[in-house]
C-alpha cells in the first residue's frame, strides 16, 4: 500500500491536472459509469461540524475509493484544516486498499478544480477581474483554479475577518507569483464583486454573502460552500437574473444545497430554470455560454467520483515517479 502526503502529491500533480480530472469525473457521472451513492452525513452539532463518508466505484477503471471528510468550520480559528480528510484507493479487481492519500489536499484540489472546470467551460474568454468570498481551508485552491483557467489582472478577496483576509491575500500573492494576477484584500462584499467577471463563494454562511443585483452582465458565478440544506451563500436574485444554471450533479445539489433548495421552496425558481450538469456540457448535450452578456451560475457540492479520478491519477503518477511511502 502506498501512502501519499500533501508534499508527495504536490511533486506529481498540478491544478491543471485536477481541472482535467474533474472534467473526466463529471463526464463519468452523466454517462452513468460511476456508482457513487450520495454521501452519508452524520452531524456533530456540538461543534458545528459533520462527518461525511463518500464512496465511489468505476467498473470500467477497475477502481473504487472511499473518502472520509469531516467538516469542522471552527478549526480555522485554531489554525487547523476545516475539512480534514483521507482518501482510500481500492483495487477494483481484488478489493485491496492500494493507497491512502492526504484527503484534505485531494479535497482542496478537486473542489477548487470544479470551479476551474466550470469557468474553463462557461466563462467569457476575456475575463480580467475575479472575486473570491471566503478565506477558509478551501479558498486557496479556488483562487488557484481561477487564475489557472483565465488570465486575470486582479482578484479581490473578501472575508468577514479583514486581518485574515489581508494575510490570505499576501500569502496567496507569493504562492501565485508565477501569475501576473494581483491579489487584493477588500473590506466589503460589494467591493469584491464590483465589475467582477468571475465570482467564487466558499463559506459556511447561512445567509447570502453578496448582493445579486450588483453582479455584472456576463459574469460567471461558482458557489461552493452550501453543502447542507440550511446553508445559503448565494443571493437568490442572481438565480432570477441568470441565463443558465449548471451543477456538478443535479441529484447531489438537490439532496443537499440550500443555495438551490431554499429558492425552490420559496418559489423563486423552479426546476425548469435549470440548464443541466457540467458533464452534459462536456458531452455536447447542452449548450455552454452563448454570448458575453449571459450571467451564468454554477452550483457545486462535490461528488465522490471527483475524489476517485483525482486519487487514481495521483497514484499512477506517484508510481511512475517513485514518490510516496510504501507501507508493507
Please, which pLDDT band fits residue 227 given cuts at 50, 70 and 90? confident
Nearest partner of 263 among 278, 242, 284, 277, judged by Cα? 242
pLDDT given at position 39: 83
pLDDT tens digits for range 79-132: 888 889 999 999 999 999 999 999 999 999 999 999 999 999 999 999 999 999
Domains and CATH numbers, the chain: 2-106+305-326 (3.30.1780.10), 118-303 (3.40.50.720)
pLDDT given at position 81: 81
pLDDT tens digits for range 36-76: 998 898 999 999 999 999 999 999 999 999 999 898 888 88
Specify the 3-state DSSP secondary structure of 135.
Answer: coil
User: How far apart (Å, rounded) are the C-alpha atoms in residues 103 and 138?
Assistant: 12
Q: Where are the alpha helices (DSSP H) in 31-180?
A: 103-122, 139-149, 162-175
pLDDT tens digits for range 234-281: 999 999 999 999 999 999 999 989 999 999 999 999 999 999 999 999
- Residue 216 has what DSSP assignment? P
Please, which pLDDT band fits residue 322 given cuts at 50, 70 and 90? very high
Q: Which of 23, 24, 67, 250 is catalytic?
A: 67
Please, which pLDDT band fits residue 323 given cuts at 50, 70 and 90? very high
| Percent of the chain scoring above 90 in pLDDT | 92
- In the beta sheet, which residues pair with residue 183? 155
pLDDT given at position 328: 78
Nearest partner of 134 among 148, 121, 115, judged by Cα? 115
Nearest partner of 61 among 90, 92, 87, judged by Cα? 92
pLDDT given at position 80: 86
For the question of residue 207 being annotated catalytic, the response is no
- In the beta sheet, which residues pair with residue 54? 67
Compute CA 141 distance to the chain's CA centroid, rounded to the nearest angstrom.
8
This model's pTM is above 0.85: yes
Amino acid at each position: 500500500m502506498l501512502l501519499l502526503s500533501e508534499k508527495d502529491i504536490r511533486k506529481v500533480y498540478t491544478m491543471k491536472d485536477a481541472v482535467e480530472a474533474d472534467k473526466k469525473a463529471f463526464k463519468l457521472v452523466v454517462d452513468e459509469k460511476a456508482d457513487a451513492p450520495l454521501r452519508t452525513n452524520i452531524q456533530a452539532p456540538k461543534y458545528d461540524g459533520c462527518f461525511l463518508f463518500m464512496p465511489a466505484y468505476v467498473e470500467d477503471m477497475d477502481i473504487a475509493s472511499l473518502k472520509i471528510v469531516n467538516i469542522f468550520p471552527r478549526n480555522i480559528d485554531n489554525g487547523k484544516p476545516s475539512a480534514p480528510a483521507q482518501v482510500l484507493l481500492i483495487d477494483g479487481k481484488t478489493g485491496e486498499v492500494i493507497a491512502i492519500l492526504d484527503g484534505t489536499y485531494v479535497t482542496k484540489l478537486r473542489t477548487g478544480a470544479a470551479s476551474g472546470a466550470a469557468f474553463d467551460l462557461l466563462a467569457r474568454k476575456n475575463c480580467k477581474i475575479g472575486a473570491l468570498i471566503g478565506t477558509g481551508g478551501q479558498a486557496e485552491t479556488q483562487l488557484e483554479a481561477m487564475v489557472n483557467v483565465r488570465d486575470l489582472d486582479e482578484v479581490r478577496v473578501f472575508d468577514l475577518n479583514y486581518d485574515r483576509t489581508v494575510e490570505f491575500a499576501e500569502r496567496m500573492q507569493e504562492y501565485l507569483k508565477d501569475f501576473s494576477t494581483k491579489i487584493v484584500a477588500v473590506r466589503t462584499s460589494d467591493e469584491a464583486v464590483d465589475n467582477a467577471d468571475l465570482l467564487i463563494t466558499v463559506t459556511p454562511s447561512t445567509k447570502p454573502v453578496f448582493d445579486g443585483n450588483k453582479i455584472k452582465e456576463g459574469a460567471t458565478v461558482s458557489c461552493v460552500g452550501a453543502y447542507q440544506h440550511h446553508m445559503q451563500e448565494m443571493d437568490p436574485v442572481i438565480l432570477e437574473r441568470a441565463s443558465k444554471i449548471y451543477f456538478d450533479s443535479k441529484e447531489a445539489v438537490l439532496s443537499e444545497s440550500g443555495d438551490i433548495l431554499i429558492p425552490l421552496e420559496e418559489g423563486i425558481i423552479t426546476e425548469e430554470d435549470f440548464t443541466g450538469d457540467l458533464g452534459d456540457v462536456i458531452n455536447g448535450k447542452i449548450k455552454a455560454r452563448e454570448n458575453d452578456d449571459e450571467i451564468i451560475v454554477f452550483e457545486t457540492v462535490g461528488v465522490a467520483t471527483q475524489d476517485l479520478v483525482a486519487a487514481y491519477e495521483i497514484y499512477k503518477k506517484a508510481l511512475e515517479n517513485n514518490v510516496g511511502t510504501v507501507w508493507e
